[in-house]
Structure 1
């Protein structure tokens, strides 16, 4: 069976993303044109536009399209923005942010995923302004500051050094909390300190190294 990916992409936008209150015209335009199927492992390509998380290997998953759409809308990326992504995964969200912003630096802890994402970005013709680094974000150091940060996996709490990477007025998207009830939030780096805006409830896998330590009850 041959899948009409163009039709599947249109249905994803109209039946999943838009009904989930993603109404930003620039975000919808990117989601409607960028070939998500190219960033999905071949074995799961038929699921590229389904309302499911897609396994990427190494215990990592691609977020649902609706979560990606809400993240992109919340970050409100501008053409001149410099963006940091924590967790490249398949590279799809990096490609989307690259289409909306000036430059994206994306950190991926798994070398194999980083290499595959780079190949897909090059092959798709997207991501000329996306740089992928193989690094553990929890132990990453940079003097650089960004207008926006997107964390593509869950954390119990946001490390303080993540917020230090934000410019004044910058914003950070992250899912925080304990599975199965987690909350997606946008952290604004305001003059008076961080301001947290609650977005929606969801449940996504933890960032590598950021899962809570199991509590044993005797």
Structure 2
């Protein structure tokens, strides 16, 4: 496989058509080597429009979804970012490359080790990587300029939104199959949050977030 040609095709044929048009994000996809964050047995799938299994029932999200999430957060070099669910660290690397620091939580110790190893090999040092429940960890820390949930949730807890600094953004996929929406929440001031739902996608559940009843009486 011609890796650079496969990377180019991924960007041009998968990512761009998904309205990822920020040149800085597209350049970032060239710089951060996605294949180095894939499990060895699935390295040949790195540039495919597929969710890649990484163990523990978890997946590496498709390139287009990861790129669009990072683009829509509109990160700044001074931002402090919270990531819940690191997987093998590719999304962590993208976030860290666009911000001052990432505090990242992963609930599975084996994936924490993979993330740490992959970030070290990639030369990324501005990540505070922690093993544990991301929601509980987030509520004990903060505030954050940006929060990204790397899996779908039934609803975004209000107490997590409260961890946003003024002007901060939270992005996550909310809902139940067969319909999930991306929620982009911006904290306008101390008590006001603006939410938009710019696109739809279905991705696996993020562990640690309580399910809510879908029935109304």
Cα distance change of structure 1 residues 214 and 61 upon mapping to structure 2, 3 Å threshold: farther
TM-score by length of 1: 0.93
1:147-158 equivalent positions in 2, closer than 5 A:
147-158=145-156
Task: Give, in whole Å, the separation in 1 of the partners of 2:159 and 2:212.
Answer: 21
Task: Give, in whole Å, the separation in 2 of the partners of 1:187 and 1:72.
Answer: 14
Contact 1:153 1:207 (8 Å CA) reproduced:
yes
Task: Give, in whole Å, the separation in 1 of the partners of 2:214 and 2:19.
Answer: 37
- Of residues 171, 174, 177, the one that matches 1:173 is 171
Task: Give, in whole Å, the separation in 2 of the partners of 1:199 and 1:114.
Answer: 31
- 2:199 corresponding residue in structure 1: 200
Task: Give, in whole Å, the separation in 1 of the partners of 2:212 and 2:183.
Answer: 22
SS at the partner of 2:211? coil
RMSD of equivalent CA atoms: 1.7
Contact 2:54 2:60 (8 Å CA) reproduced:
yes
Task: Give, in whole Å, the separation in 2 of the partners of 1:176 and 1:198.
Answer: 10
- 1:142 corresponding residue in structure 2: 140
Cα distance change of structure 1 residues 79 and 159 upon mapping to structure 2, 3 Å threshold: same
Q: Does 1:110 align with 2:74?
A: no
TM-score by length of 2: 0.93
- 2:65 corresponding residue in structure 1: 67
Deviation per CA, 1:115-140: give whole Å up to 9, x if none.
11100111122x21112100102322
- 1:23 corresponding residue in structure 2: 21
Give the count of matched residue pairs. Answer: 213
Task: Give, in whole Å, the separation in 2 of the partners of 1:151 and 1:74.
Answer: 13
Task: Give, in whole Å, the separation in 2 of the partners of 1:121 and 1:161.
Answer: 30
SS at the partner of 2:27? helix
Deviation per CA, 1:56-114: give whole Å up to 9, x if none.
10011111111111101100011111111010111001101111111111100001101
Instruction: Extract unaligned runs of 5+ from structure 1.
Output: none
- 1:129 corresponding residue in structure 2: 126
Cα distance change of structure 1 residues 76 and 202 upon mapping to structure 2, 3 Å threshold: same
Task: Tell me by how many angstroms 1:215 deviates.
Answer: 7.8
Task: Tell me by how many angstroms 1:180 deviates.
Answer: 2.3
- 2:75 corresponding residue in structure 1: 77
Task: Tell me by how many angstroms 1:162 deviates.
Answer: 1.4
- 2:50 corresponding residue in structure 1: 52
Contact 1:26 1:100 (8 Å CA) reproduced:
no
Task: Give, in whole Å, the separation in 2 of the partners of 1:133 and 1:5.
Answer: 32
Task: Give, in whole Å, the separation in 2 of the partners of 1:160 and 1:27.
Answer: 30
Task: Give, in whole Å, the separation in 2 of the partners of 1:138 and 1:65.
Answer: 25
